[in-house]
Structure 1
């Protein structure tokens, strides 16, 4: 057992693909937290009775798989990665959601053999309850961004991990809800649980990027806490 797994705590927290690799070795459940925007959009779709097929960023095999599954591909019509594009999505829709962070991490998390959930602020308590039901240890994966890649996933190259305020806040809200179930938190998860400031979404780098691009509505939707009972679980590659 290594220190990287944060062994000894019921709830653990790490970042990005590296965090998936570390926590996936011992955690029975991994919760991917990508608040702006994959996790929030997924919550809205699932809350409407839809399903989400996570698609790796610019992975043509993933797009081909989405088409074979009969999924609607975000970005090819009225629905996109932006949360504000899906509040009225028809129930029953299978939406293929390409994302360089959340979708890619869901796929990586599934490869560890853990049960995988997608969490955000909107469904923090619901996801915590479901993760607790599935059994631990539970790993919270704050997605973060990649240097050189903007919030819309646009870039020619992908740089190293950039930790993000919004995902720290989202993971912290889920950690706090898990603590309320009597679970022990690692130092990393406890620190996040003590610093849940929803108002920070509008002033953090990712939030300002969206607002300055005219997408402040996405930040508003993402900043609503515990307004959803959806707890998206990845089953056979689909979140529902």
Structure 2
């Protein structure tokens, strides 16, 4: 076992694109956790019988890809990346969801050959059960944020990783559910499992940013734990 590996454990945890690269060499399943907001919005869409096309950037390339797939593009109508915008999305909708964090990591994770799931607090137990059904080891990817990234500018340069409380808690909730199913957690995953405090979501940096921008309802939706049976899985480029 290399000093930087988490070999020997059923469940492992790492961060961002670097974490995908590390765990993609070890894990049969990768779970992307971007609680505010890609994974939460994806859970709500899939829970209503819709599908999500992850799109890295909302630029000409991303829009062309979405239109070629026949998808409704988030941001061009009633639906956006905000969870509250999709609570009444019609069943059967294919929603193209631009996100430089969650969507980008889903594509990177798929490139490793692993099964890819999108997890959050809402669907932690459902995703854990699906991950074990697919076989292990299971790698939990806490998305985090990137300092200095222009989300809407379509730039290619990523700033340094900013680990986020909400993604550690989301990954931790899934880790805890996996432990409850008998899986052996790495120290990294076990620490995240002990960190889950959904009440802290509203007061963490990301939660405060959204609330102060008038989006407290999105934080409330993301804070609900194990209220969904959806386990969005990437199949032919689409989460369903």
Q: Which runs of 5+ in 1 are unaligned?
A: none
Q: Which residue of 2 aligns with 1:203?
A: 203
Matched, 1:147 2:140: no
Residue 2 of structure 1: how far off its partner (Å): 2.6
Answer yes or no: is the 8 Å Cα contact 1:13–1:142 preserved in 2. yes
Whole-angstrom CA distance in 1 between matches of 2:189 and 2:112:
21
Whole-angstrom CA distance in 2 between matches of 1:190 and 1:111:
27
Q: Would you identify which runs of 4 or more consecutive aligned residues in structure 1 move more than 4 Å? A: 154-157
Whole-angstrom CA distance in 2 between matches of 1:110 and 1:17:
12
RMSD (Å) for aligned C-alpha atoms: 1.3
Q: Which residue of 2 aligns with 1:107?
A: 107
Whole-angstrom CA distance in 2 between matches of 1:59 and 1:30:
27
Q: Which residue of 1 aligns with 2:87?
A: 87
Q: Counterpart of 1:13 in 2: which secondary structure?
A: strand
Residue 59 of structure 1: how far off its partner (Å): 5.1
Whole-angstrom CA distance in 2 between matches of 1:3 and 1:61:
39
Matched, 1:24 2:42: no
Q: Which residue of 2 aligns with 1:117?
A: 117
Larger deviation, residues 51-60 vs 169-178: 51-60
Q: Which residue of 2 aligns with 1:11?
A: 11
Whole-angstrom CA distance in 2 between matches of 1:76 and 1:2:
47
Query: Would the alpha carbon gap of residues 160 and 143 (structure 1) be closer, same or farther in structure 2, given more than 3 Å must change?
Result: same
Residue 154 of structure 1: how far off its partner (Å): 4.8
Answer yes or no: is the 8 Å Cα contact 2:57–2:152 preserved in 1. no
Q: TM-score normalized by structure 2?
A: 0.96
Measured against aligned partners, the alpha-carbon deviations of 1:89-120 in whole angstroms (never above 9, x if no partner) come to 00000000000100000000000000000000
Q: TM-score normalized by structure 1?
A: 0.96
Measured against aligned partners, the alpha-carbon deviations of 1:110-151 in whole angstroms (never above 9, x if no partner) come to 00000000000000000000001000000000000001248x
Q: Which residue of 2 aligns with 1:138?
A: 138
Q: Counterpart of 2:4 in 1: which secondary structure?
A: helix
Aligned residues: 238
Q: Counterpart of 1:139 in 2: which secondary structure?
A: strand
Matched, 1:74 2:40: no
Whole-angstrom CA distance in 1 between matches of 2:3 and 2:69:
41
Whole-angstrom CA distance in 1 between matches of 2:102 and 2:70:
21
Q: Which residue of 2 aligns with 1:48?
A: 48
Residue 57 of structure 1: how far off its partner (Å): 1.9
